[in-house]
Amino acid sequence: MTKRSAGIGAEEHTRRQAVTTLLIGALNPDGMKTRRSIEAELELPVNKLTEICRQATRKRWKTNKTTGASELVETKPGVLDETDFAFIAGKGYDKGRGRLTDKFIFELGLGQLVESVQVQRGSGLTDTEEAEIDEEAKAWVRALLNNRHKAQKIFTNGLDNIRRGDVPWARNGRRKRWANATSVERRASFNGWLDEIEQLGCRVLERGEWQEWFELANPSGTSSTIEQFLWYWSGICDEYSFGCPPWIWRVDVDYWDSFDALSSGELLDSLILITESDMPYSTYHTRFEHPSSKPRLRGYVLTDEVTSFSVIDGELQPEPDSRGDDIEAWITERRARVAQATQEANALIDRASRRKSGGAHG
């Protein structure tokens, strides 16, 4: 158990166990392999999976090394360290050739985290050399996760500063009071705040912008990243040419230019932190279930998913690859599934924000 997970409450402990169980289940989707065989296949320590899958507190007698007496020791169910989680997922994914699917990696925001684990090992490596490669991969994963947590701290500190009546950030640490800063100084402070976050590989987005990208993304194959999505729209969005950045597109330009818009609760409450792998920040790995993961609603004959989108009259329009011809029913179902996914994504984001060090509300 790491320092970061040592002080978590019972509810959070249970949630992390559930996510870990999801990972173990995904590694053995047909239930035909034992944990021991999966450990061997992924070159994990013996009993690693068994230990982290325990659901109940274990009591056992253990000899006290100091006194030599036998003592009854309670061991709580293990929680998989966030670094180990990503490392094991990377081993199980293997760039789509392993047991974990593209969708699993996408929905848990593991994209860049597992990249470092995807090292092609040559033949003839010794056990020591293999272990060194694994440790290097873990160190890279750990660094990315630490950057997430650092970015979240900067993000929440900036929001707190604004709510206390200051600008969010200052290079020298001496922030001006919001009321005493000019419009130019406020924007400069916002830009500095966002730049600090982006240097850590994360970014701040308006919640609706992220959800729009998420709903259109293809979790089972090649999909545009948030950066590509924002780059595309910044090239055709008139608002951006007036100084309105991508993460605030849903706010009217006049609102953006107004004197106190940047300190409004409406804006601050709409901002979320997005990680380097394009999912909202959470203190531990969280699954954001894509609409395509939901079972189809009853009463509709269409069975296929959206396969592509075209820009028509400046808007993205779906092109369903369907085996039926009831397009109105398809659109109705699609909207219902997107609405359900949006509601669930909001709930996940809000839950993350209520955790220690998490979310847009501090």
Going residue by residue through the chain, which has 362 residues, state the pLDDT in tens, using 9 for 90 and above.
Answer: 444 555 577 888 888 888 988 998 899 888 888 888 988 888 888 888 877 776 666 666 777 777 878 877 666 666 788 999 999 999 999 765 678 998 999 999 999 999 888 765 556 778 888 888 889 999 999 999 999 999 999 999 999 999 999 999 999 889 999 999 988 888 889 889 989 999 999 998 888 888 888 888 888 766 678 877 776 665 555 444 444 555 554 455 455 555 567 788 888 888 899 999 999 999 999 999 888 776 544 443 333 344 344 434 434 344 444 444 455 665 566 666 666 666 766 777 776 655 444 333 33
Contact 99, 27 (CB under 8 A): yes
What 8-state DSSP symbol labels residue 96? T
Distances (CA, A) of 343 to 53, 84, 109, 215: 30, 30, 19, 12
Contact 90, 137 (CB under 8 A): yes
Contact 92, 85 (CB under 8 A): no
Q: Exposed, middle or buried by CB within 10 Å (0-12, 13-18, 19+), for 248?
A: buried
CA 79 to chain centre: 19
Please give the structure tokens belonging to residue 7.
Answer: 């002080």
Can you list the positions of beta strands (E) in the chain? 58-63, 70-75, 203-206, 271-274, 306-312, 315-320
**Four-residue CA torsion sign, 99, 103, 108, 110:** positive
Determine the angle formed by the axes of helices 207-216 and 327-354, rounding to 10 degrees.
Answer: 130
Which residues on neighbouring strands pair with residue 306, listed in sequence order?
320
d(CA 284, CA 192): 27
Instruction: Please name the residues in contact with 187: beta carbons below 8 A apart, sequence gap of 6 or more.
Output: 243, 262
d(CA 162, CA 171): 16
- pTM tops 0.85, yes or no: no
Which residues on neighbouring strands pair with residue 194, listed in sequence order?
none
- Please report the pLDDT score of residue 315 as a whole number: 41
Contact 98, 73 (CB under 8 A): no
Which residues on neighbouring strands pair with residue 338, listed in sequence order?
none
Residue type, 131: A
3-state helix, strand, coil split of the chain in percent (to 5) is 50, 10, 40
Nearest to 208 by CA among 279, 286, 272: 272
- Please report the pLDDT score of residue 71 as a whole number: 77
CA 39 to chain centre: 26
d(CA 262, CA 176): 15
d(CA 30, CA 43): 20
Contact 271, 159 (CB under 8 A): yes
